[in-house]
Homo-oligomer: A and B are copies of this chain.
Amino acid sequence: MSDAITASEFRVRYAESDQMGVVHHRHYLVWCELARTDHMRRLGVSYRDMEASGLKLPVVEAHLRYRQPARFDDCIRVRCWVREVASRKVSFGYAVERRDDGTLLATAQTSLIAVDSNHAPTSIPSDIRRRLVTAPDPVRL
């Protein structure tokens, strides 16, 4: 796996299940965010420091495809990569997999825009933008 695609791993929490006996679909957005934060950290961008310096990246679009259910106690791997980066916007791709057998559980993409501390649109600083190396989608989203 190249540095442009990294993976985060964790176990499904009981609280993430719903009465269908599977992970409720909203939690995949949390998992994607976790993977995105990890991915950016590995690219040298601390999301925490970035926010402290006044730059925020709210999600403006999300598209998820749920393929197979995840269940409580499953070990999950989320692969994350940058799909596109422009002056004010960055898009990420995600592949959510069951770690033990590699089954693809879900794919997702999210787009984020840069805003300042007043929630007004701004540009992604060039030193951050330079680190957000793109990768071709490793799976069909």
Chain A residues packing against B (C-beta within 8 Å): 10-11, 13-15, 17-22, 24-27, 29-30, 33-34, 37, 46-48, 51, 56, 58-67, 69, 72-73, 119
The residues of B that contact A14 with a CB separation of less than 8 Å are 18-19, 24, 33-34, 37, 47
Minimum Cβ distance to chain B for residue A38 (Å): 8
CB neighbours (8 Å) of A20 from chain B are: 19, 51, 56, 58, 119
Which B residue's beta carbon lies closest to that of A62?
B64
Question: Once the chains bind, are B59 and A61 in contact (CB under 8 Å)?
Answer: no
Residue pairs across A and B with Cβ atoms less than 8 A apart, 14 shown, are A14-B19, A17-B19, A19-B19, A19-B20, A19-B72, A20-B58, A22-B58, A22-B119, A29-B29, A61-B64, A61-B66, A62-B62, A62-B63, A63-B64
A58 surroundings in chain B (CB, below 8 A): 20, 22, 25, 66, 69
Q: In the complex, A25→B18 CA distance in Å?
A: 12
Given known contacts A15-B33, A22-B58, what 18 new A-B pairs fall within 8 Å (CB)?
A: A14-B18, A14-B34, A14-B47, A15-B18, A18-B18, A18-B19, A19-B51, A20-B51, A20-B58, A21-B119, A22-B119, A26-B30, A48-B73, A60-B65, A61-B63, A61-B65, A62-B63, A63-B64
